[in-house]
Amino acid sequence: MKYLYALVLALLAASGSGAKEATQLAEDPVVEQRLIAISEEMRCLVCQNESLAGSRSDLAMDLRRELRGLIKQGKTDAEIKEFMVSRYGDFVLYRPPVKPTTWLLWAGPFGLMGIGVMALFMYLRRRNASMTPEELTDEERKRVEALLQEGEK
Amino acid sequence: MKAKFLIPLGLFVVLVLFLAVGLGLDPREVPSPLVNKPAPVFKLTQLEQPELQFGTEDLKGKVWLFNVWASWCVACRQEHPVLMEFSRTQLVPIIGLDYKDQRKDALGVLRRAGNPYDVTAFDGDGRVGIDYGVYGVPESYVIDKAGVIRYKHIGPITTEALQKTIIPLINELKKS
């Protein structure tokens, strides 16, 4: 395990890109903090199940470089988001915006739940209606009383 | 009353259909927001002649095919012969963008496999690629006379894609 760790460290040092990343972190922690906050909300397009903050793909590194530049230029979060969306589409955002094409996505689950609740109510009401309590006839009542008295003895 | 028992079966069939469609989709093909938007402007040095510049300016009023490639890209090799074939038709200028590459590697590829490009712009740090929303090389764009991106092809161009989609689109765009 120790050897593996040493090997990884050596590889990182050798690749240079890792080293560069580290110096930039030290350079301006405030920028880096914002970069992480923004890029965690974005998808890396090369490895789609990774966030832009976590990915080590070349494109993700380049994009982080670009975003770092934008942050240093004093762009707002909304402007940075727009930079990404205008290039890669809403797909880069882990939280899709609410707009006509995503209404179904946002409202769909609630709609399905509504349908389910309605179906449940309808079913319960129909079942209630079908189960009219049966009245006992006088003869049956007498038999019940007789049986109960018998039981008490 | 009997039909009621068919409801779960019907729902199941719907689910299976959704699954079938879903399996057929390629998650790597992300629709580009750049289609029908003006192509991002760039001005870069040329691959073959680093002292010369080349940019979108030089293509005003022309329909052109923009192909993003790199010497390290394996799928580009697969695409290369298709582009060679297409370049022989002289239908439109084919502009290459050598994306995040080393000049000598890229020149080596062109020397060995032939050069289908009218001009190749050299994008060493990948900034122009980012402007074009490139996330997996090769990617290609058809750009019209007004400088608007009309089509984006993700992945290697196949002869089929060329014949069925790209060439008809180019012919139509050239007429307008």
Q: Flag if B135 and A58 touch (Cβ within 8 Å).
A: no
The predicted pLDDT at position B175 comes to: 87
What are the chain A neighbours of B31 within 8 Å (beta carbons)?
89, 91
The predicted pLDDT at position A138 comes to: 87
Place of tokens 């060329």: B162
The DSSP H or E segment spanning B169 is helix B167-175
Residue B4 lies in a domain: no
Length of chain A equals: 153
- pLDDT grade, residue A2 (50/70/90)? low
Most A CBs within 10 A among B130, B131, B141, hence the mutation to make, goes to B130
Residue B148 lies in a domain: yes
Domains and CATH numbers, chain A: 2-97 (1.10.8.640), 101-152 (no CATH)
| Three-state SS sequence of B5-35 | HHHHHHHHHHHHHHHHHHHHCCCCCCCCCCC
CA distance B132 to A87: 6
Tally of structural domains, chain B: 1
For B2-25, how does the pLDDT look when each residue is reduced to its tens digit (9 = 90+)? 778 888 999 999 999 999 998 888
The predicted pLDDT at position A5 comes to: 67
Residue B90 distance to chain A (closest CA, Å):
30
What are the chain A neighbours of B28 within 8 Å (beta carbons)?
48
Residue B102 distance to chain A (closest CA, Å):
15
Listing DSSP states for B103-146 in one string gives: HHHHHHHHHHH----SEEEEETTSHHHHHTT--SS-EEEEE-TT
Residue B168 lies in a domain: yes
CB B143 within 8 A of CB B39: yes
For A103-148, how does the pLDDT look when each residue is reduced to its tens digit (9 = 90+)? 888 999 999 999 999 999 999 999 888 887 778 888 888 999 999 9
Residue B43 lies in a domain: yes
**What range does the domain containing B38 cover?**
34-175
Q: Flag if B33 and A59 touch (Cβ within 8 Å).
A: no
What are the chain A neighbours of B126 within 8 Å (beta carbons)?
58-59, 62
Length of chain B equals: 176
Residue B64 lies in a domain: yes
CB A121 within 8 A of CB A127: no
CB B134 within 8 A of CB B68: yes
Distances (CA, A) of A33 to A27, A28, A36, B49: 12, 9, 5, 41
Q: What's the gap between Cα B126 and its chain centre? A: 16
Distances (CA, A) of A118 to A124, A127, A132, A145: 10, 14, 23, 43
Nearest CA in chain B to A45: B135
For A12-64, how does the pLDDT look when each residue is reduced to its tens digit (9 = 90+)? 555 554 444 555 555 788 888 889 999 899 988 888 788 998 888 888 999 99
- ipTM beyond 0.85? no
**Quick one: angle between helices A2-15 and A17-27, nearest 10?**
80
Q: Flag if B100 and A58 touch (Cβ within 8 Å).
A: yes
Helices of type H across chain A: 2-15, 17-27, 29-39, 58-72, 77-88, 103-130, 138-152
Strand partners, B11: none
The predicted pLDDT at position A57 comes to: 87
Residue B15 lies in a domain: no
CATH code of B126's domain: 3.40.30.10
* Overall pTM > 0.80: no
